[in-house]
Amino acid sequence: MPSKRLGIGFIGGGFITRFHIKSLIAVRDVDVIGVMSRTKSSAEESAALARTVGVGAQAKAYDTITHMVADPNIDALWVCSPNFARIETFEEIASAISTGKGE
């Protein structure tokens, strides 16, 4: 019986995100659905990397955390933003979910 695949969204588009994307090559049943970064080019480059290495055939760049949280294909978020931005990032995630924007 096939298992459900885990859809992953990355927040942050830099080195750490790219490292995690490459590591997913060795993991079964996961798909990178998208990447959100404050820098659009970083999100686009990381999403392209996921497509290139075969862990996110449809990976795309998101422009906001709210849009990413609202995507029903995303089951889990990897928060790879810089340390100084993480509290703000988690607050934004919590706000999107608690106000129903993430449904």
Identify the CATH assignment for 6-98 out of 1.10.3720.10, 3.40.50.720, 3.90.105.20, 3.40.50.880.
3.40.50.720
- In this model, does residue 103 exceed pLDDT 70? no
Q: Cα dist. 81→1, 5, 16 in Å?
A: 36, 24, 8
Position with higher pLDDT, 101 vs 39: 39
Q: Give the pLDDT score at 8.
A: 98
* pTM of the entire predicted model: 0.91
What pLDDT does 66 receive? 93
What pLDDT is stored for residue 63 in this prediction? 93
Residues 48-64, mean pLDDT to the nearest whole number = 97
Lowest mean pLDDT among 2-6, 7-11, 27-31, 46-50: 2-6
Region of 12 on the Ramachandran plot (φ > 0 left; ψ -120 to 50 alpha; else beta):
left
Q: Long-range contacts for 14-18 (Cβ within 8 Å, ≥24 apart)?
A: 14/42, 14/46, 14/80, 14/82, 16/80, 17/46, 17/78, 17/80, 18/46, 18/49
Instruction: Decide if 81 contacts 89 (C-beta within 8 A).
Output: yes
- Report domain extents, the chain: 6-98
pLDDT beyond 90 at 3: no
69 three-class SS: helix
